[in-house]
Amino acid sequence: MPVKHDLLQDLGLTKEAVSKFRSENPHLNQLFVQYGEKDAEVVEAEANDAIGVPDDVLRTLKEQRLQIKDKIAQILSA
């Protein structure tokens, strides 16, 4: 069953803190937008797995999502 990843929980942040960071850093805001879009793609691919989404496609989507998450974490830790 596909499950959306809770990025805020993964990063140990509150909605308020993320809202503040996003408003102060347009690049970080864009990364959060990209993460949300990529996460939606992963969830959709997982939901459609039964109708033929190849494992390598799903793996690539998950890797791309992780790369975006890593960029967000790197900015927040700086």
Q: Can you tell me the distance from the alpha carbon of 46 to that of 34, in angstroms, rounded to the nearest whole number? A: 18
pLDDT of residue 50: 59
Rounded mean pLDDT, 30-40: 96
Considering the entire predicted model, what is its pTM?
Answer: 0.87
Ramachandran class of 52: left when φ > 0, alpha when ψ lies in -120 to 50, beta otherwise: left
- In angstroms, the Cα distances linking 64 to 23, 24, 38, 42, 76 are 24, 25, 7, 10, 19
Judge whether residue 53 has pLDDT over 90.
no
Rounded mean pLDDT, 38-67: 88
Q: What is the DSSP code string of the chain?
A: ------HHHHHT--HHHHHHHHHH-HHHHHHHHHHHHHHHHHHHHHHTGGGT--HHHHHHHHHHHHHHHHHHHHHHH-
pLDDT of residue 49: 67
